[in-house]
Structures are given as C-alpha cells and as structure tokens.
Amino acid sequence: MKGFLKGSATAMITPFTEDGVNFDAFGKMIEYQIENGTDALVVLGTTGEPATMSDEEKEAVMRFAVKACAGRVKLIFGTGGNNTAKAVRMTRLAEEIGADGILAVTPYYNKCTQNGLIEYYKAICGATKLPVICYNVPSRTGVNILPETMEKIADIPNMAGIKEASGNMAQVLDTAMRIRYKCDLYSGEDALNLPILCVGGTAVISVVSNLVPAQVKLLTKCVANGDLTGANNVNDTLLPLIHACFSEVNPIPVKAGMNILGFDAGVPRAPLTPLEPEHCEQLRKAIQENYLEVNA
C-alpha cells in the first residue's frame, strides 16, 4: 500500500524517572511536536528504549499517547521483536488501543534468513488491518532486509513501506526501484534524510526532530516543493546537530539534548549511560547554532 506516511515523523524518546515513565514530561514533548507541525509520532521505536521497558510500561505509554494526541497527529507504535508470537500480540494490542500504524523492526539476535523475514512480516501484517512499516537497521539487529526480499514483502497488502537505516545508499536505491509502485520508502537515518527524500522517499522518521521538529518538517517540505536549494540550506544547518546527536549511541545524546532544551527527559536506562561531558558540549553548541533557546 502507498500513501500512509508523508512529511516528518519523530522517533520519540521515552522520558524516565527512577520510578518509571515520566508521563508529565512525555505529554509536554508530544505537545511540542504537534505545535511544530510534525506529521506523525513513532512511539516505542529504538529511540524510545522499549528493550528496557516492561510490557506493562509499553501498554501504558501507548494508552497515554493515544489520549494525549487525541487524533491530532498520526501515531505509529513499535511492536516488533525477535519473538514473532509476541510481536503479533503487541501488534494486536496496539491496534486495539488506537494506533494508526505499526513499526516492526527486523528480528534481532536470532539472525533469521531472508525467507524468515518474509514470514515474520506476513505474520505481523496478518494480525492487523493497520498499515505496517518494516524497520531495517542491521547495525543493531544483525539482519539486513535485502532489496529483493523487500520487493516480496512489499506485496503484502497492508505493508506501508520500509524505514531504511542501513546507511547504504546503493542498497536504498535498489530497494526504492523495486518497491516504488508497491509501497513507500522512509528515511530512518537523519544524515541521509535529504538524499533519501530526493530519490523518492515520502517521509523521514527522525531522531533529531525530537529537538528541532520545525526544521525537519521544513526539510521535507522543501523537497516536496522541488526547492532543492532551500532543502540544502536546511540540511546544512541541521548536519552539525545530527552529528552531535549520534556522537554516542542513540538515544543517549538526544535525551541530553532534550534536557538542554528544558524538557525533563531524564537519562537513558542501563545499560546505556549518560552523555559524556565532551559530547555534551558539542551538542549544546549545535543546539545553539540551530537558533534554539538553551534552558539548562
């Protein structure tokens, strides 16, 4: 299926306290995104740290997000994992709670075959009527959705597209060619947002847009309007911030950045650690260069 997601989507962080999820802070972050024109929120993706959350916490976050958004923006919930049966259960729960779409990361650690990937996505798509997005991030999962495999996955009726975070533009181009008339291509890597949009990507699922949602939305609008000069200008401004946001493993830097902006983002859950001081200064400088007020 085509046309589910266009423009900018933010891969939301999950703010924590020592006692659990900080829903007050999460609500403020949701409002910040909506006020700045973000088209969709991706909740419980990699940036949201679901790997260290209990099933009860995940369900509570989904229910809170649906209530807080109140239909004002699309909500996409991450439900994938390395246990297909559990991914199916979480997908059904997300639909029941009120998701608009599903993000399903490739199974990690198991290192399934390409045929295994096809069966995995068939199972998830078969469990819901919602649009489903594949999430290809081999640096984290150890498995890569090859272009010829995605071509087959794209035939599943409610397969909306692929969030590409392989970092391999040659592969992205091959995938784009194979799925162009079946489903959509989304950028899942901020440093490649501009080139992926320019080769037919319909949306970005961005980490840095936690911090600068209006700027990321502007980038997508410039490309959609054919204004590549404007898109390059926006991208040039964003690149130092993007580099700073990936100076350590995501979401360590972006959580620190949200704290710098005055949001109570807390720190990542173990085994992730707080941002190192030298990287924090790099991040603070990049935020200031993006003309944002630094509140902490």
Centre a 10 Å sphere on the Cβ of residue 220 and count the other Cβ atoms it contains: 27
**What is the token pair recorded at 98?**
């009120």
Tell me whether residue 163 is one of the annotated catalytic residues.
yes
β-strand 16-17 against 20-21: which pairing, if any?
Answer: antiparallel
Count CA within 13 A, CB hemisphere, residue 89.
9
CA angle, 59 then 60 then 63, to 5°? 85
Is the peptide bond preceding residue 195 cis, with omega within 30 degrees of 0?
no
Chain centre distance of CA 259 = 20
Q: Which two tokens stand for residue 144?
A: 């890569």
Q: Which of 32, 120, 121, 135 is catalytic?
A: 135
Rounded Cα distance, 31 and 68, in Å: 8
- Give me 274's structure tokens: 């707080």
CA separation for the pair 248, 101 (Å, rounded): 29
Please choose, from the candidates 174, 227, 171, 218, the residue with its C-alpha nearest in 3D space to the C-alpha of residue 198. Answer: 227
Q: What is 87-146 written as a DSSP string?
A: HHHHHHHHHHHT-SEEEEEPP-SS---HHHHHHHHHHHHHT-SS-EEEEE-HHHHS----
Q: Which of 58, 163, 217, 255 is catalytic?
A: 163
- 3-state DSSP assignment of residue 75: strand
Contact between 253 and 245 (Cβ < 8 Å): yes
Verify whether residue 108 is a known catalytic residue. no
Q: What residues act catalytically?
A: 135, 163
